[in-house]
Structure 1
Amino acid sequence: MSFHDIRFPANLSFGSVGGPERRTDIVSLTSGHEERNTPWAHSRRRYDAGVGMRSLDDLEALVAFFEARQGQLYGFRWKDWSDFKSCRPSKKPGEDDQVIGTGDGQKTQFQLVKRYRSGPAEYARPIVKPVAGTVIVAVQSTPMREGVHFEIDTSTGLVSLDTAPPEGSVVTAGFEFDVPVRFDTNRIQTSVASFQAGQAPDVPVVEVRL
């Protein structure tokens, strides 16, 4: 799919509204019970990149970014300020934040994931757009060095170790990440409120599958 590996201006996405959505098919039975199922293995995130009162320079940057992506045609990176780390928002990523796999003595590639837990339930979200320079990896709690012991593909989120971890060893990682998205509109509307400020109230953005 068409994707530009560039991040939407983070200062403009700060304060945006959005989050994950799920699709659930619900069938009501004659007994009053329900059958529920989902065709989606993974959630999909939506955001509103609309900006309130901003400088005219900010609006120009928004329009330039939109035009360079040709509206909905090209995807791009988006920083979700409420969820962009492998750890809690108040913490700094550590190499033991997320379990990304278990060694079998042969496998050398592992997909970055972030796990969301509540009670006995867990959801593993594939991370396909890690931020370059933020990924740290450990094998059985032993830190690995990027460029020496492993490589990270920031376009897919795949970690490639130089040596296959021994069978049963736990591979963990910490990182920051972006969300792959596209504009969910082919039109941007802006208004000028004064000689120095304006606004673009509605700029929908939706996550894309890669």
Structure 2
Amino acid sequence: MDSFHDVRFPVRIAFGATGGPVRRNEIVQLTSGAEKRNARTSQSRRQYDAGTGIRSVEDLYQVMEFFEARRGSLHAFRFRDPFDMKSCTPIGTVSPSDQKIGTGDGETSRFQISKTYGTGADAYRRLIKYPVAGTVVVAVDDEERALAEDFSVDPISGEIVFLPDAIPGEGAVITAGFEFDVAVRFDTDQLSASITSFQAGHIPTIPLIEVL
């Protein structure tokens, strides 16, 4: 991604943020009164407001310093989604069997990590980028593989890359567990801050938008 800084927005502030996935659907009412609905995009796009995470003057300064270093909306960065940041539930423990990410053919060495929401024909598969270093665990046919010995992880693209001697065989099921960040940018070029009381800071809104 162009103009991406591989740094994370302050985590403590991020965990007080609000927001989540946004879908863009087009709904047209026909002359019969029925509706025709179409998805304008295949992927959801997340939006957040980190202003609700500000608790102190120190928090306020951290955000303003971070904002200046990113040149406002110019550079994207990592953000810890407080509601969805693992291959399992937010309070669960990551396991190498959490998500199926592919099936081996004896030749393919690269597999994109992903997270599936729902089941069956209606399931939505979200491609995951920006895994958190040291959190990715992988299994092939339920046998856990070793990082560095069997595979590596691209920290930006989220691809699992198997070493030549560890490439999954024909029909082997590859699964993975992981923690991940979301690439976002500031959706504004201005921050308006105020001091609400002694040692308390406030920024009414800090809009962030996912960069796909």
TM-score (norm. length: structure 2) = 0.95
CA deviations 1:101-160 (Å, max 9, x no partner) are: 000111110001000005752000000110000000000111011111000001110100
Which one of 162, 167, 176 corresponds to residue 170 of structure 2?
A: 167
CA deviations 1:54-107 (Å, max 9, x no partner) are: 222211111000000000000000001111010112210000000000001111
CA distance in 2, matches of 1:107, 1:174: 20
TM-score (norm. length: structure 1) = 0.95
- Aligned to 2:197, the other structure's residue is in SS state coil
CA distance in 1, matches of 2:34, 2:200: 55
Structure 2: unaligned runs, 5 residues or longer: none
Q: Is 1:178 aligned with 2:181?
A: yes
* AA in 2 matched with 1:70: R
Q: Which has more helix, going by share of residues?
A: 2
- Aligned to 1:110, the other structure's residue is in SS state strand
CA distance in 1, matches of 2:154, 2:188: 30
Structure 1: unaligned runs, 5 residues or longer: none
CA distance in 2, matches of 1:27, 1:54: 43
CA distance in 1, matches of 2:36, 2:203: 42
CA distance in 1, matches of 2:138, 2:120: 27
- Aligned to 1:100, the other structure's residue is in SS state strand
The structural deviation recorded for 1:53 is 5.8
- Aligned to 2:42, the other structure's residue is in SS state coil
CA contact (8 A) 1:52 1:200 kept: no
Aligned to 2:144: 143
Q: Is 1:194 aligned with 2:197?
A: yes
CA contact (8 A) 1:52 1:199 kept: no
Range with greater deviation from structure 2 (68-77 or 56-65): 56-65
- Aligned to 1:132, the other structure's residue is in SS state coil
How does 1:121-140 map onto structure 2 within 5 Å?
121-140=122-141
Aligned to 2:85: 84
Range with greater deviation from structure 2 (117-126 or 71-80): 117-126
* AA in 2 matched with 1:182: R
CA distance in 2, matches of 1:10, 1:53: 11
Query: Are the structure 2 counterparts of residues 94 and 104 from structure 1 closer, same or farther at C-alpha, using a change threshold of 3 Å?
Result: same
Aligned to 1:47: 48
CA distance in 2, matches of 1:171, 1:52: 38
Question: What is the number of residues matched between the two proteins?
Answer: 209
Aligned to 1:117: 118
- How high is the sequence identity, in percent, across the aligned residues? 50
The structural deviation recorded for 1:25 is 1.3
CA contact (8 A) 1:112 1:173 kept: yes
The structural deviation recorded for 1:26 is 1.7
Query: Are the structure 2 counterparts of residues 119 and 106 from structure 1 closer, same or farther at C-alpha, using a change threshold of 3 Å?
Result: closer
CA distance in 2, matches of 1:36, 1:114: 25
Aligned to 1:6: 7
Aligned to 2:57: 56
- Aligned to 1:50, the other structure's residue is in SS state helix
CA deviations 1:144-179 (Å, max 9, x no partner) are: 111110000011101001132111110000000001
* AA in 1 matched with 2:39: T
